[in-house]
Each structure stands twice: as structure tokens, then as C-alpha cells.
Structure 1
């Protein structure tokens, strides 16, 4: 049974990947989990793994630096890069580094099974060969430049900035995910984890915050404010406003001392 070293800084992602690997039915098992590239290298100093499955973005040492370090080993393991970023520079690096595969989060069972099946077939052929397999030890990967600035910034910060700029217009999870180069499902999970609320709830709160500002600082009709923050139905807007703030738009305006024409 082939061994896998799983490297990702988020425990819940490692747990999810472990379950996917278990479900894919391939003869392999996770022998170690690490939170970053440095931790992985320290473990590999005294242990072996057939496959290193690593996230791209991690603290201390990211997946790119880890791959560089692994390529300097005498017998480097097969490497699978896993990322929430569907972006060409990351894929370009993976191709130049000759990694075994590049998977997008959340990883589906079918994709994992295909990936591991291909790797295990290759490992079996290598082990069955009487000749010494070629080594990539000491081979530096080609220089490919620095990651674009927008990819070094927190994806959630990018998402929030995009939402704030897009409001009061319509903004969807799929649209934001495309802007920050993340899979929509992964962005949804990441957003809830880091913002402590769902994507939809955040968008709703931001709409209501703008509505509160207009109610308190202008004499616009409530129907006009509803349209300004993206609601064509006044009753729907009023219900949503009360659900978020605990009072109707009229009650809030009265409390602020403004008069509605």
C-alpha cells in the first residue's frame, strides 16, 4: 500500500481530503499530516512517503517552496498540488515542476481516484523496472516570476473588497469566486470560516448597512432607498431590514429623528 504525506495548514481541509482519499478506493493511506512545507520537510528527513499531497498557499513554507525543496532530494516523491485557485500561474508552475497532478478544492472523489490511480500505476512500473530510475536531484526549477500581487493578498479580503465595490448591484457567489480565482464551494467554506457568517448573510448585512446610512442621513423616500440598495419590492426590503436590524425602516428613521416626505 502506497503512503501519502498530506500537507495543508487547515485541519478541516486535511480531514476532508482524508475522507476523499479513503472513499476513492485506491490502495494507499495517509501516513502523516503536516500544517506547512517546513513541517513536511522535517518529517521527511527521517521518513519516506510515496506521494506528497500539498496545498499551494500555507504559512512558514508554502507549497511552491516545498516542491522546490523536494526536487533537490535524491529520490523525490510524487507530488500533487491542491489549491482553491484556478489560475494559470499556479498551473504553470505545476507543469514546469513536473508535479504529478494539480487538483482544485473541493476535490471530488472521482478526481482523486483518477489522480492516485495514475500515480500508483507509474510507481508500480518504476519499481518493476530493473534499471535505476532517473533522478532529478539538484535540479533547480525554471524561474517563473513572482506571484501577481492579487494572489499574495488574502482571497477573503479580495472577495470583501469586490463585494463592497459591486454593491448595491447584484453580486453572486459564483461571480465573486471567479474574481478571486477560487472554486465557489471552497470560497463559501472559507468565507464562513474566516468571516463567521455565510456569504449571503454578509451581502445582506452590507445592503442593510447602506440602507441605514441613507435612512439616517437623507430624506429619500423609503421606496427609493429600497431600490438604491437593490430591492424592487418595498415589502420584501422592509421585512429583510427588520430581520437584520430588529426594526422596520420607518421605525429606524423615526429613532434617528429624520422625517420622511
Structure 2
């Protein structure tokens, strides 16, 4: 499992060391715990490497934790954030929550509360990352056709619906033409006219888009994904995927982890 990076930001060395020791003792293999002595140092670190979670004190000289949280809004990908403060700084809590801070912990921070907050924040980060990867698999041409579907001719609308419903099956132009009661040659010409794409190209792109979605959002084996996308064998699926994406399905999955 991939390590997640946590950056502890606090101007007090004792606090930094205490938080770091607690997290490393809790999950030494899954967490890469780093520290920064100021918000400015943290921002520099963010520009150099990917940080999944930031735990920051609210009151620091030169630049406060809230200013750091505001700066995080410009980061891509954006880390999740946990803010730590004293009771007397409750007015800061409201601002922090408005900025999307995941958790607000009060000093002195109890070990159980810290671990609970970190676990929850890192799970949220994983979900955000996975959603972001799923967005990346979207095919713009397919998306454009989907958006125009309602204004398409009835026959093309029905044809697209039939393809969606039978994507995991062995279908061809004749099958779709039969379902919409059209001559295959006529449907082929109409399909190209309405979508600016041949039937074969659309079907392949649609299947590969579905395959990429399954690769990044599930742990299904490649053979299972091939079957779910209408390919009779994993070998043929891998061949087609590599021709269009320049890499194997396994390489694609690893590249989005």
C-alpha cells in the first residue's frame, strides 16, 4: 500500500516532535511523517513534493496557520488539513471550518483524538484522489456525444442507449441496427453524420472509457475488466488498450495509484 505523507507545521520543536512520535508509533509503514517549523517552510515544501495531510498550529509567528490553510486552496492536488489551537482561539475555528479544514483539535491534543482525526482525514484524501482519477479517464468526444444525446435523432438516441446497455456483450453494427429497425448501412452513415465518429470508433472508445474507470476505481483483475467491457479474451483487450493508450491496463492502473 502506498505511503501517505503527513506534514506537521508548528513553531514549537517539542510539539512537533511529540506529534511526529505519536503518528510514527501508530502507523510506521503507511505514513511518511515530516515536520516544518513555520508556515512559510511548509509552503516551500508543498511546492517541492506532494503532501496528503497537513497538521498545523493556528498561532505561529510571521505567518499563521490560517494563512497557510488559505494558501492551500491554490494547491493541486490539495492536501486535507487538521488545525490545532487553544480554547481561547475559538474565533479562529469558525474561519478554519469555512476554509474546509477537516478537523479542529484543541490543546493539549490527546493521542486518541489525534489518531482518530488523522485516520478520518487520510481516508477523505484517498476518496478525493480516487474521484480525481476517475475524472481523468473521461473521454471528451464521448462526453460531447452524451451531452448532445437528447437532441440527437430518435434512432441515434436509441442506438447509444442500446450500446450502453450491452457494453459487456459481443455486439456489432448489425445488432444495433436490428434493435433500432434500420438498415446497417444507413445506420452507419447516420451514426457518422450525427456523432462525427464511426460506429466502430465510438464502441471502442466507450469500452475503453469504461475499462479505465474500472481500472482506477476498483481492484478487479484485468480478465474480469475485459469481460465487463465486452472483450472475449484478456489478451485481445490488452492489445486494444495498448494500441489506444500506449500502455497496458496494468501499467495504466499503476500510473494512477
* Short-chain TM bin: 0.3 to 0.5
More helix by share: 2
